[in-house]
Amino acid sequence: MTLQERLQRMQAKKASLLATNFYNYETLKGILEAASSMQQPIILQLTKSSIDYMTLPVAVKMARSALQEHRVEGWLHLDHSDSYDLVAQCLDAGFDSVMIDASEKPIQENIALTQRVVALAQKYGANVEAELGYVAKLGQSKEKMGFTEPDEAHSFVQETGIDALAVAIGSAHGFYTEEPQLDLERLSQIHAVTDAALVLHGGSGIAGNMLQEAIQRGICKINLATEIKNIFMYQLKADLLKSDEIDLRKVFPPAIQAVTNLVKEKLEIVKNELVSQ
């Protein structure tokens, strides 16, 4: 099943896919052990920095072989690319989905670049995600507001032909200094005017009940990245302080398990018993 089909099915059933960033073999394994044990589908995401770190061929082959090994239904997605060339490279490498993020550019530039990506992705049958509004990235101010306007969302989807739209409704990337409050009424208004699959970025740190309410109002893809990095490194550093062990095969498993436990918790929030129907 294509990701486009799965996302539309999830949205119709008021369910959501969890989209998880991985950074190395260990975080990938932790994610897929969780998805496998809960028999839940998952999206594996790579950013440019992770691709640069692992290299594109290695990252793709590792993700595909790990999905097969764990017998998990999953898709490979390029997260937050601002480059048409990187999108093209990832599509050639077999990605199921790509995100072109021109949300910080003027709206007409965002539309024009997104249209180019959609035209390219159609040749591969790939899902295309774009962003409209301001969702603070790591290092950017979370005080700035730039929520997605429903009427702009409608016209943006119509003009670009995207499959999925990342909306700005109060979430942010990275850690929150105070508990985030999503503008759920705005989300309902956006959902009412577009058939695009709606995506929530900055899923780390948002309360489970708020995520579930967002799903009920149209979100069908929730991104999780910061918490994965954080729990892995927190566990690893804690263990290294207590041990002089140098065997990586003994050092990494507790951190992998910490990722697995985290992803299980998130899957429990978003899972729907009917997703396979």
The model's pLDDT over 182-225, given as tens digits with 9 standing for 90+, comes to: 999 999 999 999 999 999 998 888 889 999 999 999 999 999 99
CATH of 3-270, one of 2.40.50.140, 3.40.50.280, 3.40.50.720, 3.20.20.70: 3.20.20.70
Annotated ligand binding at 21? The verdict is no
Segment 248-262 shows an average pLDDT of: 97
Asked if the model's pLDDT at residue 135 lies above 70, the reply is no
To the query of whether residue 82 is one of the catalytic residues in this protein, the response is no
Q: Are 216 and 15 in contact (CB under 8 A)?
A: no
- Whole-angstrom Cα distance, residue 66 to residue 137? 29
Q: Which of 79, 151, 183, 195 is an active site residue?
A: 79
Annotated ligand binding at 80? The verdict is yes
Identify the pLDDT of residue 170: 86
- Residue 141: band (very low, low, confident or very high) from pLDDT cuts 50, 70, 90: very low
Averaged pLDDT score across all residues of the chain: 91
C-beta atoms surrounding 159 within 10 Å: 16
The residue ranges of DSSP E strands in the chain, in sequence order, are: 17-21, 42-46, 74-81, 97-100, 127-132, 164-167, 197-200, 219-224
- Whole-angstrom Cα distance, residue 63 to residue 22? 9
Q: How far apart are the first and last CA of the chain?
A: 12
- Residue 138: band (very low, low, confident or very high) from pLDDT cuts 50, 70, 90: very low
Asked if the model's pLDDT at residue 140 lies above 50, the reply is no
Segment 39-43 shows an average pLDDT of: 96
- Whole-angstrom Cα distance, residue 76 to residue 2? 11
Domain boundaries, the chain: 3-270
Identify the pLDDT of residue 192: 97
- Whole-angstrom Cα distance, residue 122 to residue 133? 25
Q: Per this entry, what is the length of the chain?
A: 277
Annotated ligand binding at 223? The verdict is yes
> Which has the higher per-residue pLDDT, 110 or 272?
110
Annotated ligand binding at 168? The verdict is no
Annotated ligand binding at 173? The verdict is yes
Annotated ligand binding at 225? The verdict is yes
